[in-house]
Amino acid sequence: MVGLLVLVGLAVLAMPVLLIVALVSVSGLKRRVATLEAQVAQLRAARAAAPAPAPASQAAGAPVVDEGPTLADLLRDAAPPPRATPAPVQAAPGRTAGPPPIPPAPQAPTPTPTPTPAAPHIPPRPPRPAAPARPDFATRAVRAVQRWFTVGNVPVKIGMLVLFAGVAALLKYGADQGWFTLPPELRLAGVAAAALGALVFAWRKRESNRVFALSLQGGAIGVLLLVVFAAFKIFGLMPVGAAFALSIALVAGAGMLAVLQDAKALAVFALLAGFLAPIWLSTGSGNHVALFSYYAVLNAAIVGIAWYKSWRLLNLLGFVFTFGIGTAWGLFDYAPEKYGTTQPFLALFFVFYLLIPLLFARRQPASRRDFIDGCLVFGMPLVAFSLQAGLMRGGTFADSRLPLAFCALGLGVLYAGLAWLLHRRRNYDVLAQSYALLAVGFATLAVPLALSAQATACVFALEGAALVWLGLKQSRLLPQLTGAGLQMAAALAFSLARADAWSSGGFEATAHPMFANAPFMSALLIALAGLASAWSYRGRLGAVAGLYYLWGLAWWLGNGVIEIERYLSHRDEPDAMLAFAALTGWLAAEAHRRRPSSALAWTTLAALACAVPLAIWQSDVHQQPFAGHGVWAWLAYAVLGVRSLLCLRDSEHRLAGAGQFVWWLVWPMVASLLMAWLPDWLQGMGQGWTAGLIALPWLVVVALALFRWGWLSAPLGERFDGWRTPLLGVLFAALALWWVGSLFVAGGAAPLPWIPVVNPLELAQLAVLVLLLRWWVPEDRSLPPAKIVLLSSMAFVWVTSVVLHAVHHWGGVPWNGGLLAGSLAQTSLTVVWSVLGVLGWVIGSRRGQRMLWLGGAVLMGVVLVKLVSVDRQHLGNLLGIGSFIAYGLLCTVVGYLAPAPPRRIETEEATA
């Protein structure tokens, strides 16, 4: 009974084959209809070519209607009349006289060209008078102190300073002696209330007594800052967040009051109060994070004020207090373990006082922007770099000067960028030149800090690149040869030194940061020198430029690979290699976008393609490409790869299509590796899921190429249309290899029950056939016979595979070499093949398709040979007997329905 149920179920499997047959029939009908349409078009064309009979009106001699003047008449009328008065023209008999001639219009006089006014004479600019001699710094300081104590409301100034100091000292002394019996909350609240009252009173007097009001406002805000800091630091009544927020509010309020009232004195008072408060109220706890956070708030206020006012004194005071107190703290209290909590503040203060000179120059009139704040422009980076060197004096940086060299190099790059930006703007020449000098100085300082005696020799490679450039500029051969020799000598010296270091174990990877070590930087210099020389030779000597480019690229790749192998574990190596390859391809694409070169385009193409072996390496190391750091590596590959394709598109290079072609082959392969790992990770899933999921990404890309080509053609667009057929060919070739291999997989669908066709493996196999049919049979043409035979053969093989899988899963026969030797498998194949042959016979006869009828007949003949040679061995059981009976009955049915093939003449008449 089970065998009969199997046979009935397998009979349903003939439906896909019938679908293919139906599609073939439809294609034949389309061909016949196209032939008929062509014949009808020929008849219509022949009929249209016959001469048309003349109209009846012309045949009867009807008068011809005057259609108006011809082109010659219009040209004749438009010609200027002669000077003599013409005689009146008599109307011809039978025609109406035309209108009288139009007198010629008077000619306009020829316009006289306006003479160009001469350029006004610009008198020579008188010589600029010599600047008067300026007093020295000591004289100016004495005068400033004298002016401060003699101008304005001097008693208020002195009184507020003394009162401020006294209140601060009293608060501290009383707290130390325990004099106050009131709770600290009430005491601080009373002081804050008094300060607020003074602030309100001063605000109301800002118009009537400006100097007094401004001084009182500054002192009141300073007292409020003292109260906040005392509540936080001394009494612990306020959390750090609230104290920080109130400090920001008070300093910002002081800045707003100073800007609104244009009061520099108020800003100075608030700044002094703010900077002195933590010093007076210090308890010696050494909480430098709180101290520098507070100073960061004050400096942010200074930057905000500098946005609106060019108060140089305020900027200098902030700089002196910030870096002066920071230097004093570093000398007496800094320890290497505090580096992590100190470095961010130094960087923040550097940014603050880098912006302030720019804002100061921006606030100056256009004619005075050559007046710069030299104390901050030159003094700040030197002081900040000295403090940076002090921070790196011990701890992890004690044995290496390379981090400090990177700091110097970073400052050089920063100031070079600022110089370049300001050079493009008007009236900033002095500031731009100052930044350019700082850039050169810091870049020069970075070399001896970064490179040892051995690595310094590699600087000669850059010197060699400079000689190459100079020789090309001057068209001299000797400097070019000397530059090449210097680069070769530097490379040889570096290689010998590194070989000695490796043999003696002189380099430990753990002692130097990755990429931030002398060997890497030295090799990088050699690579950059070669690439720079290649750039110099471009457009002049292509062969020499190519050699230099290969030289530089080899050093670049070798340096990166060695660094990755030296510092990373075996598990992380393929991920880092993928990110490094993506970076290399992107850099080459960006350079190619600006100056197209085939070598650069090939580099980008190779970088995109090398993702395939790297993905396989990733799967071998950590089971799937996206495990570990692989997800970040592939994210970098995706972002940089898209940008690389955009660069190739903008350059319109012939390899742009090849790059996108490789791109759409990499991603289905990577996704297949991930899908192959997924069932093992989920556990309990059969092999059919693994095989089906492996094919799924390729099927998706094929479906997009067939139905949504616009999604795959981006970013090239129409220029990628020529790659559609090659891309589909490669995709189907990969699917064909998978399809053949999947035929030998058992295809279990666990945890789901196995059902013929409706299981992951066979659905994927059927999808391959359907998509292939869709590609080969577009809507506007029929399928060639060779492809019909190939598709029919694949469909027959697939149906056979479905039958054998059904025997394995439903019949319980093991999936091995003995499957075909069993009687159940042979009987099932006999019945299914016979059903297919009968269907081909009957449908071919009914539809007049001789080729389909012959195909069914050949299949029935193959079944007959199988019965005689194979199935006769199983006549001793019911299954073997059933196969013979089923074949005989089916042949009987065919003999009744379609005993003979359709006549060829009927087919010919139908197509005629």
Lowest mean pLDDT among 474-488, 792-806, 872-886: 872-886
Q: Is 96 left (phi over 0), alpha (psi -120 to 50) or beta?
A: beta
The mean pLDDT value for 404-409 works out to: 81
How much is the pLDDT for 842?
Answer: 73
176-225 confidence digits (pLDDT tens): 666 656 676 777 778 888 888 888 888 877 777 777 777 777 778 778 87
Question: For the residues 49-74, what does the mean pLDDT come to?
Answer: 46
* pLDDT value at 61 more than 60: no
Report, in this order, helix, strand and coil percent for the chain, each rounded to 5.
Answer: 75, 0, 25
pLDDT tens for 417-427 read 888 888 777 76
The structure tokens listed for 262 are 């244009």
Q: Are the C-beta atoms of 214 and 206 separated by less than 8 Å?
A: yes
What distance separates the 2 farthest-apart alpha carbons in the chain? Answer: 138
Question: Hey, what long-range contacts does 771-780 have (CB within 8 A, 24 or more apart)?
Answer: 771/699, 771/702, 771/703, 771/706, 771/732, 772/732, 773/20, 773/23, 774/706, 775/706, 775/728, 775/732, 777/23, 777/27
Greater pLDDT, 652 or 581 = 581
pLDDT of amino acid 105: 46
Going by C-beta distance under 8 Å and a sequence separation of 6 or more, which residues neighbour residue 308? 259, 363
Q: How confident is the model at residue 910 (pLDDT cuts 50, 70, 90)?
A: very low
The residue-averaged pLDDT of 391-396 equals 70
Which of the two residues, 720 and 880, has the higher pLDDT score?
Answer: 720
What 3 state SS string does 314-382 have? HHHHHHHHHHHHHHHHHHHHCCHHHHHHHHHHHHHHHHHHHHHHHHHHHHCCHHHCCCCCHHHHHHHHH
| 85-111 average pLDDT score | 44
Please tell me the distance from the alpha carbon of residue 675 to that of residue 678, in angstroms, as a whole number.
Answer: 5
- Residue pointed to by tokens 């742009």: 656
pLDDT of 60 higher than 50: no
Phi, psi of 284 (to 5 degrees): 80, 15
CA dist 319 and 102 (Å) reads 90
Cis peptide upstream of residue 625 (ω within 30 degrees of 0): no
Q: Is the pLDDT of residue 539 over 80?
A: no
User: What gap in Å lies between CA 333 and CA 337, rounded to an integer?
Assistant: 11
Task: In whole angstroms, give the CA distance from residue 296 to residue 313.
Answer: 18
Hey, is 569 helix, strand or coil? Answer: coil
- The answer to whether the beta carbons of residues 799 and 836 sit under 8 Å apart is yes
Report yes or no: 813 and 825 within 8 Å, Cβ to Cβ: yes
pLDDT of residue 515: 81
Q: What is the mean pLDDT of residues 765-777?
A: 90
Query: Is residue 643's pLDDT more than 80?
Result: yes
Which amino acid is located at 624 in the chain? Q
Mean pLDDT, the chain, whole residue set: 74
Q: Which uninterrupted H or E stretch holds 106?
A: none
Residue 580 Cα distances to 477, 553, 575, 577, 698, angstroms: 37, 13, 9, 5, 27
Tell me what pLDDT residue 95 has: 42
Q: Supply the DSSP symbol for 130.
A: P
pLDDT tops 70 at residue 5: no
Comparing CA positions, the residue from 169, 172, 167 lying closest to residue 194 is 167
Are the CB atoms for 648 and 585 separated by under 8 Å?
no
Distance set, CA 754 to CA 299, 689, 694 (Å) = 73, 11, 19
- Which three-class secondary structure state does DSSP give residue 852? helix
Residues 311 and 301: beta-carbon distance below 8 Å: no
Phi, psi of 584 (to 5 degrees): -65, -45
- Tell me what pLDDT residue 779 has: 60
Handedness of CA 52, 56, 62, 64 (dihedral sign): negative
Q: Is pTM, for the whole model, over 0.85?
A: no
Q: CB of 515 within 8 A of CB of 551?
A: no
Q: Among 140-149, 391-400, 670-679, which range has the highest average pLDDT?
A: 670-679
Residues 6+ apart with CB under 8 A from 590: 643, 647
Q: What is the mean pLDDT of residues 639-651?
A: 90
